[in-house]
Amino acid sequence: MRVGFIGLGIMGGSMAMRIHKAGFPLIVYNRTKSKTEPFAKLDIPIANTPKEVAEKSDVVIDMVTDAPDVEEVLFGPNGVIQGAYQGLIVIDMSTNSPEYARNFAERLAKYGIEFLDAPVTGGDKGAREGTLTIMVGGKYEIFQRVKPIFEAMGKTIVHAGGVGNGQMLKLLNQTVVGINMLAVAEAIALAKKAGIDMEKLFTVLSTGAANSFTVQYYMPKMMKGDYEPGFRAAHLKKDLKYVLETANKLNVPLPGTALTLQLYNALVAKGLGEKGTHTLIKVYDDLS
């Protein structure tokens, strides 16, 4: 299968490189041309538009920031739809909402184009190492056809059901991720005031019942003051907004998620949205 990859950011660049290393013929596109340089050095074709990606691919993957970006890539001027043909498979690996996924699928189906929503979790580390968890919504037979591509990028691949269910699983994941980060930030904030040694706190949290990916991967960064993103704070804020929109439609109260979103709103208001999600500790530093 010829694979086209659109969006070579923190996650997308590593994911596309894993596909290349797995032996799939690849063509890539990114709005900022400098992000394509590592691929050009490997003689991987660089497209000038998403339209060109579609024309030269059997499967087109997009990994962009939000639903409006997916809209632009798929349906905008020189978008995928302009170069698409019947039988093309489009996979949106960005995070947005079940509602958007179903909308994209319906519109692409009019052109005979298959669609899967397949958001991921695992951060920049998982993208680099090919150990992402991938949640896929859409037709099972299409999922089976492209599963080898997913296996190049991820370790755990879950077919979640119909279109939109991949996004729903991702939003549920982000609910836990956000509240978990909140818990770690609160523990660190209290430990600082109480005079507790951070290394000892890390030992306890990372070996006992409180252990988690957030503790293992992000807490050491928080302790060192390294706030470079594995996943941007502004992106988690966006995801939590979608969680609450979905919960409101279903009349499900999520007070913990609502509080977490407000704290990320504060973080973004401080001008730190492009830093990592673990930069939440700075909000607690201010509050303390």
Domains parsed from the chain with CATH numbers: 3-161 (3.40.50.720), 168-287 (1.10.1040.10)
Distance CA 111, CA 88 (A): 9
Q: Which helix (H) or strand (E) holds 62?
A: strand 59-62
CA distance 140 to 172: 21
**Looking at residue 28, what is its pLDDT?**
98
C-beta neighbour count of 7 within 10 angstroms: 25
**What's the predicted TM-score (pTM) here?**
0.93
Instruction: List the catalytic residue out of 41, 110, 147, 170.
Output: 170
The answer to whether 229 and 276 are in contact (CB under 8 A) is: yes
Return the pLDDT at 272: 97
The pLDDT, as a whole number, for residue 218 is 95
Please give the pLDDT value at position 230: 86
- The answer to whether 170 is a known catalytic residue is yes
- Residue from 84, 78, 93 nearest 31 by CA: 78
Separation CA 277–CA 254 (nearest Å): 20
Please report, as a single letter, which amino acid is at residue 111.
Answer: Y
Handedness of CA 273, 278, 279, 281 (dihedral sign): positive
pLDDT in tens, the chain (288 residues): 999 999 999 999 999 999 999 999 999 999 999 999 999 999 999 999 999 999 999 999 999 999 999 999 999 999 999 999 999 999 999 999 999 999 999 999 999 999 999 999 998 999 999 999 999 999 999 999 999 999 999 999 999 999 999 999 999 999 999 999 999 999 999 999 999 999 999 999 999 999 999 999 999 999 999 999 989 999 999 999 999 999 999 999 999 999 999 999 999 999 999 999 999 999 999 999
